[in-house]
Structure 1
Amino acid sequence: MKDYLNTDVNDLQRGYQFSEEVYHCAFCPAGFEQGVIYQQGSRQLDAKKAISEHVQEKHGSVFEALIHEGKEDTGLSDIQRDILIKLYEGKSDKDISREMGSSPSTIRNHRFKLREKQKQAKLFLALMNSLTSRKTGDDSEKLVPVHKGARMVDERYAITEDEREKAIETYFIGGVDGQLKQFPAKEKRKIIILQILLMRFDPQNVYTEREVNDILRESFDDFVTIRRYMIEYGFMTRNKDGSAYRVTGV
């Protein structure tokens, strides 16, 4: 499950977001830096054009990328998903009913329910936006944002600011810039530690494996384990040959 919570709806609809002078794909860790010209075959593309073509080439389209997310993300039943795909293909109620072995009135009923679902989603989004715009509760109860490259977002990422601060006190000597005492076994704490260690890397840089090792070695002797988890949890990406490492963002 990807973390779509921190992605604006408009950005999601176009398949990318722009932040810190980089166009980030909404569906994978790919990014294109503004001001850089990217070679694609015989053509040279600016970053905005490159990210648009990346979405089409790698994900088919925004619709295709989103429709193939799991039920836990979309909230769609298998039937609703199939109907949406056929509607996207431009098929009529009669075509869909014939292909799915049901009556046109059944398909119309499903379309009506999907429209109601759209209305409910709009209202719910407005409610949640209104809620987050107000200062409510204790700041220590606020959830820490999930990093952009997270491979599977679940309860492990329900981390509060208070939990983060306690983990820093427990595992680091002298705060976030200090050395790591030990690498925790519990998943939630492990993610917190990786988030902190990622702050020691510049998101704009491309690192060699040796450079990654040198930075992590300053924090913890078993830097190989940390580096492996950085990749496994999607905090960093690397080339297939391991020659280049990049931060995917927090």
Structure 2
Amino acid sequence: MLEGPGPREPSESERREVLRTHMPRGRITSLPVRRTDRLVLLDQVARAFEPGVRYTEEEVNAVLRRFTADLVVLRRSLTDEGFMEHDRTRYWRCGGTVDL
């Protein structure tokens, strides 16, 4: 069975609105329920990690503290949605937007 097209990419104004609603002043006030909005927010957080760099859990937590106190939910969301991967000792960014 063929699947239909995936969700469309949000416009820049939609991205700004999601971030303004859920991340005022750079801190997450709520994780969006709508997946497309949640992906916008997680993409913004993922930009805080350098592609190709391996991070310890402590280093990941230090970065995530800039965004929220709920480190476990945010770290899990980043891995579940494919923005980060991990093995027994390290995390690394594997998805998201890269600024050139």
What whole-Å deviation, never above 9, does each CA across 1:63-88 have from its counterpart, x for those lacking one?
xxxxxxx8449xxxxxxxxxxxxxxx
Amino acid at match of 1:160: S
Q: Which runs of 5+ in 1 are unaligned?
A: 1-69, 74-152
Amino acid at match of 2:90: A
Q: Which runs of 5+ in 2 are unaligned?
A: none
Tell me, yes or no, if structure 1 residue 163 matches structure 2 residue 25.
Answer: no
Q: In the aligned structure 1, how far is the partner of 2:29 from the partner of 2:81?
A: 21
Detail structure 1 runs of 4+ shifted over 6 Å in the superposition.
Answer: none
Write 1 or 2 for the structure with the bigger share of helix: 1
Tell me, yes or no, if structure 1 residue 198 matches structure 2 residue 37.
Answer: no
Tell me, yes or no, if structure 1 residue 244 matches structure 2 residue 95.
Answer: no
Structure-1-length-normalised TM-score: 0.36
Note if contact 2:31-2:38 (Cα within 8 Å) is conserved in structure 1: yes
RMSD over aligned Cα, in angstroms? 2.0
Name the SS for the 2:33 alignment partner.
coil
Q: Which has the larger radius of gyration?
A: 1
Structure-2-length-normalised TM-score: 0.83
Q: In the aligned structure 2, how far is the partner of 1:231 from the partner of 1:192?
A: 15
Q: In the aligned structure 2, how far is the partner of 1:231 from the partner of 1:194?
A: 10
Q: In the aligned structure 2, how far is the partner of 1:193 from the partner of 1:183?
A: 8
Give 1:180's aligned residue. 28
Residue 183 of structure 1, CA deviation? 1.5
Larger RCO of the pair (alpha carbons < 8 Å, separation 6+): 2
Note if contact 2:55-2:91 (Cα within 8 Å) is conserved in structure 1: yes
Matches within 5 A, 1:92-131: none
Name the SS for the 2:85 alignment partner.
strand
Q: In the aligned structure 2, how far is the partner of 1:204 from the partner of 1:213?
A: 18
Residue 166 of structure 1, CA deviation? 0.5
Matches within 5 A, 1:35-184: 71-72=2-3, 154-155=6-7, 158-174=9-25, 178-184=26-32
Q: In the aligned structure 2, how far is the partner of 1:249 from the partner of 1:185?
A: 20
Q: What is the percent sequence identity of the aligned residues?
A: 28
Residue 219 of structure 1, CA deviation? 0.8
Residue 188 of structure 1, CA deviation? 1.3
Residue 162 of structure 1, CA deviation? 1.7
